[in-house]
Amino acid sequence: MITAIVMINCEVGKVHSVSEALVELDGVAEVYSISGQYDITAIIRVKEYDSLAQVLCDELARVPGITRTNTQMAFRCYSKRYGKNVVDLPMTTAGPLSAAIREAKGQGILPLVADIKPTSPRDGDLVVRRDAAELARTLVAAGARARRPLATPSGKVEIYSTILERLGYDPLPGYREPDEADGNWSRYPLLNISGPRTIPYHHSEFRHVESFRKQHPDPIAEIPVDTARRHGIADGDWVWIETPLGRVKQRARLTTSFAPGFISTQHAWWYPEKPAAEPSLYGLWESNINVTTDDDPEKCDPLSGGWPFKGQYLRCRISKASNRDEPS
C-alpha cells in the first residue's frame, strides 16, 4: 500500500465539515483534527500512485473549506502492534490469501502479517484484516518482480555502467566542480535553483483549475531573509528575477531554508485569466522562469543532454517590482 500523510489548513469554523467530507473519500483511511500550525491530518492509503494523484489532485481539491495542504509520503511503518518477527501462521487453510502467505514465507520476504488468527480449531479458517491481506499480496508481487532481471546488460543495478563505458564515457559516477560562467553570466550575484515541484500543479498543467488557483494563486520566489532585506524586499512583495536573457516577476516568500547566495523560483507559470492572443499568450512571458534560462545546446550536459536549469548558467539578480509592474 502507498501511504500519504496530508496536513491541511481550513477556513475558520470549517474543521468539522471538512473532516466529515474527507472521511467519505475513497482512499482516505483516517482523519484527525490536530493542534499546531495545521488544522487537520488525513491519512491516505491507496494501491497505486495514479489513485493517490486522483485523491490529492481531484477529490481533495473539491472539498470546500480547504485553504492549504502539505503532503508527506510515508516510506516505512514502525509499530509495536506488529512486533519484530514473522508471525508463525497455521498453513492448513486453502484459498488465494493462504497461498499468498505461503509463497511470501517461502521466499523469505514476509516480515509480518498482522492480526491473523484461527477462528476455529476445527477448520483453521483465518480472519484477516484488510491491511494484512494487502501486505501479503504486495510482498508476493514484490518478490516476483525482484526475481526478474533489470533492464541493464548485467540484469543488475550497475554502479559501474557498462552502457556508458561502451559509449565512451566514464562508467563510474564522480564529482566535478561546475564550469565557471562566461561573460555576462558571471556578473549576476545569485544562483537560482529553478523548477521545484509545486502542489497542486504538474509543470504547466492545471493553472486553469479554479480550486487549484485558490490554493496556490501566484508564482513564488523563495528568497533568504538576509538577501531580501539587502534588496528592500518584504514577504509578499512582487520581485523581478533577471538574467542576461530576460526577466520575470514572482511573489517573494522569505525563507531561512538555504544559504543567502541562492534563490528558488517556480517554473512554467501562465495566467489563464489573461488574453490568449499574441503577444500575451495567457501571460506566458510574465512569470515563467524559463524566460530567463539558456537553451544553447553547447551549455547542455554532455552526458545526459540536460538543460542548464541550475548552476552557473542560471545566475541572476533580483529587485523589488514597483506597483505598476505587479500583475493586474
So what's the pLDDT on residue 77?
74
* Residue 162 and residue 153 in contact, taking contact as beta carbons nearer than 8 Å: yes
So what's the pLDDT on residue 93?
39
267, 172: one domain = no
- Which residues have CB under 8 Å from 248's CB, separation 6+? 240, 241, 285, 286, 287, 288, 289, 291, 292
137, 157: one domain = no
Strands (E) across 102-228 are located at 117-118, 126-127, 190-194, 220-224
So what's the pLDDT on residue 117?
40
| Count of CB atoms situated within 10 Å of the CB of 79 | 8
213, 224: one domain = yes
Specify if 36 maps to a domain.
Answer: yes
pLDDT in single tens digits along all 328 residues of the chain: 789 999 999 988 889 999 999 999 989 999 999 988 899 999 999 988 888 888 888 888 889 999 989 888 887 777 655 444 333 333 333 444 455 555 555 544 444 333 334 333 433 333 334 445 555 555 555 555 555 677 888 888 888 888 888 889 888 988 877 777 777 888 899 999 888 888 888 888 889 898 999 989 999 999 999 999 999 999 999 999 999 999 999 999 999 988 889 999 999 999 999 999 999 999 999 999 989 988 888 888 888 888 877 778 889 999 999 866 655 5
**Nearest-CA neighbor of 320 among 241, 264, 265, 239?**
239
SS3 label, residue 144? helix
Specify if 132 maps to a domain.
Answer: yes
| Count of CB atoms situated within 10 Å of the CB of 111 | 13
Q: What is the pTM of this model?
A: 0.52
CATH number for the domain spanning 190: value is: 2.40.40.20
249, 315: one domain = yes
60, 124: one domain = no
CATH number for the domain spanning 44: value is: 3.30.70.920
217, 189: one domain = yes
Residue 47's domain comprises 2-73
Which residue type does 271 have?
Y
Report d(CA 83, CA 234) in Å as an integer.
51
Specify if 44 maps to a domain.
Answer: yes
So what's the pLDDT on residue 122?
38
223, 298: one domain = yes
So what's the pLDDT on residue 96?
46
Report d(CA 263, CA 222) in Å as an integer.
6
56, 154: one domain = no
Q: Phi/psi of residue 228, each to 5°?
A: -60, -40
117, 105: one domain = yes
135, 154: one domain = no
Which residue type does 325 have?
D
Specify if 79 maps to a domain.
Answer: no
So what's the pLDDT on residue 110?
43
Strands (E) across the chain are located at 2-10, 28-33, 40-46, 66-73, 117-118, 126-127, 190-194, 220-224, 238-243, 246-255, 262-265, 315-320
| DSSP string covering 57-88 | IIIGGGSTTEEEEEEEE------TTT-SS---
295, 235: one domain = yes
